[in-house]
Every structure is written in C-alpha cells, then in structure tokens.
Amino acid sequence: MPNFCSHCGHSPLARGTPPGDTHERDYCGACGAVVYDNPKVIAGAIIEQEGRILLCQRGIPPRVGSWTLPAGFMERCESVEEAARREVWEETGIDAEVTTPYSIFSVPPTNELYIIYRARVVTWEDAPGPETRAVNWFKPQDIPWDLIFYPAIRQILERYIAERDGGTYGIYTGSMEKGVVHFMQ
Ligand SMILES: [Zn+2]
C-alpha cells in the first residue's frame, strides 16, 4: 500500500486510531483521510459431476502448479453469487449455476473471507482463461492433496468428501480455528 495520502498527496501516512474511530489504521495527518483495509471476499464453487470434483491448476503466481477450487476475488458492482459464477467461468470455461451456500470461511491472518457455494454445470463450451494451466475432475481418492495449498480450500474439500458419503451437506461458518456446521432442518 503506498505510504502517501490518495486524497491530498501528503506523505507519510500516520498510524494510529483516528479521532472517533475504534481501530488502529493508516490515516493522513494533513487532511484526515483514513485508509480502510477491510477484508477481501473470495467467491468460488465446489462442483461435482459423475462422482468427480472439479479442480483447476493455477497457471499464474502465486502458487503456480497448485490445485484449487475455482475461486477468486469479488469485483466491484457484482454480487457474491455472480462473482462465484464468473470465477468458475474464467478458470474452467464452465457456465455454472450456483445452488447452495457451502462455506463462509474467515481467514483473519490474511484479511480474507471465502464464500464458497455448491454449484452445477449448465454448459461447458469454453476453454479456461490464462490464469489456469489445467482443469480436471478428480475422484475423491485421486485429489492431489500435496498440491492443494490454501488451508480454507483443503478444509472445504475434506468436509465435502466426508459429507458426500452420508449424502447430507451442511453449511460451515467459521475460521481455521473454530467453526460450526449448520444443517438444514
Ligand atoms: Zn490527505
């Protein structure tokens, strides 16, 4: 983050709790503008078809070569469902329909919130975009766990595989440290 005020250009920014605020932040000592570094939302989807789970392999940094669920940062002016659908399309070429929320996963250390849905394939006509090196459908026993880096994605996949054996899917809310799986009544 640049260490100058984006409003008036004053440098450097001060660090502290601005007047009337509750959190320590960067702010401008000249004009009073505050830099709000709020969490970013990552939207994505878990898609199963014919007993296999869709994963994509990253083709750009960070973590080139690692496998993950199709997911990425929300853009301005879109809903989280739209973001999940767009990320699936960009990273796999699949037009998907979002069906059910599956995981609302907070990652406080990296200032991120994952919102992962279950989704189903509507059409698959396009090739993945340049962010993706490969797309593959994995049977649970074939998932390349050693190449799945993000702990949130790993937890989501592990729970999904455990739940699919029982045929009942919950909705997780929480973080790596603690959380709750909510089941529909
Ligand atoms: Zn300023």
Question: So what CATH class is 40-175?
Answer: alpha beta
Å from CA of 18 to ligand 1 middle: 13
- Please tell me whether residue 145 adopts helix, strand or coil conformation: helix
- Give the CA distances from residue 28 to residues 15, 20, 22, 64, in Å, rounded to whole numbers and listed in that order: 9, 15, 16, 37
Distance CA 53, CA 49 (A): 7
Q: What is the pLDDT of residue 1?
A: 66
Å from CA of 19 to ligand 1 middle: 15
Query: pLDDT digits over 43-76, tens only?
Result: 999 999 999 999 999 998 889 999 999 999 999 9
- Give the CA distances from residue 78 to residues 60, 88, 103, in Å, rounded to whole numbers and listed in that order: 24, 15, 19
Å from CA of 9 to ligand 1 middle: 6
Q: Where are the alpha helices (DSSP H) in the chain?
A: 80-92, 151-166
Q: Where are the alpha helices (DSSP H) in 56-183?
A: 80-92, 151-166
Domain ranges of the chain: 1-37, 40-175
Å from CA of 83 to ligand 1 middle: 33
Segments in the chain below pLDDT 70 = 1, 185
Q: What is the pLDDT of residue 185?
A: 62
Å from CA of 50 to ligand 1 middle: 56
The tokens describing 159, both together, are 């729970």
For residues 175 and 107, the answer to whether their CB atoms sit within 8 Å is yes
Distance CA 39, CA 184 (A): 28
For 1-37, CATH number out of 3.30.70, 1.10.3470, 3.40.50, 2.20.70 equals 2.20.70
